[in-house]
Amino acid sequence: MARDLKSLRNIGIIAHIDAGKTTVTERMLYVSGAKHKPGGVDEGTTETDDDPEEQERGITIYSACVTFRWNDVVINLLDTPGHVDFTAEVERCLRVLDGAVVVFSGREGVEAQSETVWHQADKYEVPRIVFINKLDREGADFYRVLEEIGPRLNATPVAIQIPVGTGPAHMPDPFVGVIDLIEMKMIRFSEQTAGKEVIYEPIPAHLQDDAAMWRESMLETLYTLSNEMMELALEEKPIPPELIRKVLREGTLSRTIQPVLCGSALHGMGIQPLLDAVAAYLPCPLDRPPVRGVDPRDRTKTIERKPSPREPFCALVFKIIPAKTGDLYWIRVYSGVLKANSRVLCPNKDKKENIAQLWQIHATKKERQGQIEQVECGDIACAIGPRHAVTGDTLCDPKAPIELPTIEFAQTVISMAIEPENTAERKKLAEVLAMLERQDPTFDALENPESGQTLISGMGELHLDVIKHRLVRDFNLNVKFYKPRVNYRETIRREARVVGQCNRQVGANQLFARVELQFEPLDDPSADPIVLDRFFGENTLPNELKDAVMEELRSRVAGGGMIGSFPLSGLRVSLVGGEMAEVGSDAVAFRIAANDAFDKGLQAGEPTLLEPIMRLDIVTPDEYVGDIVGDLQQRRAIIESTESRGVMTGIVAYAPLKELFGYSSAIRSLSQGRAACSMTPHGYQPAPEEDAASFGM
């Protein structure tokens, strides 16, 4: 029997690091009955953080999927990392999800990575609900966080719950439960059952005025979305809870509003109402628009696939986990049915793929769930058998091909040199690095044939540190590691018009070609370089010669600048002129002339070294602000703003990545471990002259 898509929810848990995503996931599993005992992040016993590196560090590094049932709804839930170095895991999950739960810490509020993941959800038009967590912590403030969400995230949060008390048990007014503004009841959560048992009570008399005020605030927002609710309000008639939930769902699905709930996941408080909200307000696959792609045989033609088992099969590969018995391909099926032991097409590679086995995903290991015979539209599953597809590729019915938009990932900003201890380790290292590249789209490895060193690149110090530990511990490799280095780029400062020539004797042939190029800097120095053909008119070159020039220019642009090891960016190279002879002007001659002109153009355009700039979002107790700002200024940082957040201060600054190696340790030392910082890539700017001089520029 076909799955009822109305009862399916594909959701993700997204947030800043330490907001409590994994604990929320763990409590959902426990409350739903999928687990008999909730695990703990600090103990390394959670279901989704099953990698040794995650358990040691107490953070999520790899996205994990769990499936469980809540009442009449089946939930496929993806738990994602919160650290900026692993934001690619969030990117690929949001690409395939239907809805999301965004978790905020009740103490820290809207943080840097909160904004990043929120905007990623905006990018993929993912409806979401909000859970303000950790209200049992000292310094937590539900109302402050609620006020931050709107202006900082360009959102419309609608509180459908308010907390009863805030803070730990020893405080005068501790957090003990929530008030449901739809049913106008107080909800308590039994400590003896770790939140499994929910107790509904009348709202205490001293809280009724606050509850009525917040309910009216909720309704006023919803009036703008429903004429029926507005008419009932004008007639002063009661508004039934069913109608409120209906309008909340419609507003959530259209991304007009975001319902806000609250609680403390660590103590199981607020989890049951959160699961009810997932079922009530987040979309099923039928609520999402049909996916669109192009016909790989005619890329000007757009194709739609509806979420129906009767449509041709279509799925997206969004994660690959390498394994000795066959790589595990995580796929989201958008249409049709996929059966085990079948053949599909990967249009991105124009290759047929075998689907040998299908598995239900649980955490990151297929062994924890049973093998399945088929997977239908709307579902998330694991396929074993493909060999050519990579993350972001489409799998589809060979008789009805479609290519879905791929997943775009950020470029790496930091590198580290490694080399094997001996020749025997070299081949093993190459195999392991190739495997890690398949698993992580933001990890690159490139071997230098002259030095024997391999350069590994990633999104930050923590990212490379995790890779380093895996190479040594998981794969038992004997390798040397060198200090991380910055991934610089090269560009030009000014326009230049140059002529390159080829006029040489090769055997009995006299080669001749002349190429004129225009070099121009772009407004954005970090933008990808552009190669254009602007050679028009009566005296233009034959197409085969122009094609040879353009191909050579694209190769040179991709190969780097004057130094060679750093990519080019922020410039436009245009073919604007050329000359040929009656004999001796072939493709080889024009490639030589294009290379000559390219070298001259880079030199004439005044080559410039660009260094990556990071945005720093720092939250620190007020007494350490002066020390932290002084340290930032020594690191060539520009302070953009400081903002008071109660007893804490938020600092936004921009600093060169070169000056930030080891900064996480430095800020802990400056604040006695009480300040927190996150770094995100911001762009590129010209490096100091001494840095450029060290590379011979």
Average of per-residue pLDDT across 544-567: 86
CATH number of the structural domain spanning residue 51: 3.40.50.300
Same domain, 279 and 135: yes
Q: Is residue 407 part of a domain?
A: no
Same domain, 355 and 421: no
CATH number of the structural domain spanning residue 418: 3.30.70.870
170 pLDDT more than 90: no
What one-character-per-residue DSSP string does 47-110 give?
A: SS--SHHHHHHTS--S-EEEEEEETTEEEEEEE---SGGGHHHHHHHHHH-SEEEEEEETTTBS
How confident is the model over 286-304, as pLDDT tens digits? 999 999 999 998 888 999 9
Question: Residue 217: what pLDDT?
Answer: 95
Same domain, 152 and 248: yes
pTM: 0.75
Same domain, 315 and 251: no
Question: Residue 348: what pLDDT?
Answer: 92
Give the pLDDT band (50/70/90) at residue 367.
Answer: very low
Nearest to 457 by CA among 473, 478, 475, 440: 440
Question: Residue 285: what pLDDT?
Answer: 94
Q: Is residue 404 part of a domain?
A: no
Same domain, 272 and 296: no
Residue at which a domain ends, from 567, 585, 605: 605
Instruction: Say which residue, 201 or 368, is predicted with more confidence.
Output: 201
Q: Is residue 231 part of a domain?
A: yes
Question: Residue 169: what pLDDT?
Answer: 79
**Is the CB of residue 102 less than 8 Å from the CB of residue 131?**
yes
Same domain, 633 and 657: yes
Amino acid in position 112: A
Question: Residue 70: what pLDDT?
Answer: 94
- Structural domain range at position 429: 414-487
| DSSP bridge pairs for 234 | none
Q: Is residue 406 part of a domain?
A: no
Same domain, 240 and 304: no
How confident is the model over 469-485, as pLDDT tens digits? 888 888 888 888 887 77
Q: Give the helix/strand (H/E) hosting 573.
A: strand 571-579
Domain count across the chain: 5
**Range scoring the smallest mean pLDDT among 263-267, 354-358, 426-430:** 426-430
Sign, Cα dihedral of 415, 419, 425, 426? positive
Q: Which residues of 388-399 are buried (b: 16+ CB within 10 A; e: fewer)?
A: ebbbbbbbbbee
Question: Residue 133: what pLDDT?
Answer: 96
Same domain, 126 and 143: yes
Q: For the chain, count helices (H), then strands (E).
A: 16, 36
Find tokens 């091909």 and name the residue.
Answer: 401
Question: Residue 312: what pLDDT?
Answer: 96
421 pLDDT more than 90: no
**Is the CB of residue 245 less than 8 Å from the CB of residue 280?**
yes
**How many whole angstroms separate alpha carbon 79 and alpha carbon 81?**
7
Give the pLDDT band (50/70/90) at residue 666.
Answer: confident
Question: Residue 663: what pLDDT?
Answer: 84
CATH number of the structural domain spanning residue 672: 3.30.70.240
Average of per-residue pLDDT across 308-321: 93
Residue at which a domain ends, from 425, 452, 487: 487
Nearest to 270 by CA among 416, 402, 130: 130
Find tokens 């001089």 and name the residue.
Answer: 693
Same domain, 567 and 660: no
Amino acid in position 532: L
Same domain, 528 and 621: no
Helical H runs in 488-538?
none
- What separation in angstroms does the CA of 413 have from each of 83, 150, 420? 15, 31, 23
| DSSP bridge pairs for 258 | 157
**Is the CB of residue 101 less than 8 Å from the CB of residue 131?**
yes
Amino acid in position 298: D
Question: Residue 452: what pLDDT?
Answer: 58
Same domain, 481 and 499: no
150 pLDDT more than 90: yes
Q: Is residue 190 part of a domain?
A: yes
CATH number of the structural domain spanning residue 551: 3.30.230.10
Question: Residue 8: what pLDDT?
Answer: 94
Q: Is residue 401 part of a domain?
A: no
Q: Is residue 408 part of a domain?
A: no
Residue at which a domain ends, from 427, 458, 487: 487
Q: Is residue 403 part of a domain?
A: no
Same domain, 422 and 315: no
